[in-house]
Amino acid sequence: MSEKTVLEVTEMRSTPSAATNGGWKWAAFITGAVLLALVACLIGCLFGLLIGAAISNNRRSQTSVPEYYLPPTEEWPLPTPYQGSGQARLGVRYTMTAEGALIQEVETGTAAEEAGLQVGDIITAVDGKAVNANHPLAERILSYNAGDEVTLTILRNGREQKINVRLGAWTDLPLQLPIQ
């Protein structure tokens, strides 16, 4: 090799290139910025999921059942506003479902027992008016007077039936006091 060739090779190696002039720093900076943005998006999505799940669970715990509804597992006192008023009474304890009022208990000596209603029946309508969360069974029955005859539409074992019931009165029962 000649001295000139060695000099040219040496000069080529000593010439600053884009890689040694700081170009790699910009590439690393941009790559780091993109990775940081992706991590921030991932963290934002995770927090969004957690907050959404918390809100969803909170809404599920709230029910649309009216305030005057008591679960069938509690002892029910005789409602004093209806005592002696001649207000209609069916004589069932129920829970509201998407289909209607699911009977949990049929009280003895009531209009419901006389009409043959059974635990597990779902009352879907009273005189053709739907029973649902917006118009629960109690609201429908309390719009009548004791002694009125109504037609209940029920689902029993998946089959729709119509049952005629002569409604009783709140005064038909002895006074029940809540258990202390």
pLDDT tens-digit readout, 104-141: 999 888 899 999 999 999 999 999 999 998 888 988 88
pTM of structure: 0.51
CA dist., res. 19 & res. 23, Å (int): 5
- Contact 121/94 with Cβ under 8 angstroms? no
Structural contact between residues 52 and 152, judged by C-beta atoms closer than 8 angstroms: no
Could you state, in order of their start, the residue ranges of all structural domains in the chain? 3-61, 88-172
What fold does the segment set 88-172 form as a domain? Pdz3 Domain (2.30.42)
For 42-81, write each residue's pLDDT tens digit: 999 888 888 887 777 665 555 454 444 444 544 444 444 5
More confident position, 99 or 176: 99
Give the model confidence (pLDDT) of 71-98 as tens digits: 454 444 444 455 556 778 898 999 998 8
Report the SS3 class of residue 131. Answer: coil
Q: What is the pLDDT of residue 88?
A: 84
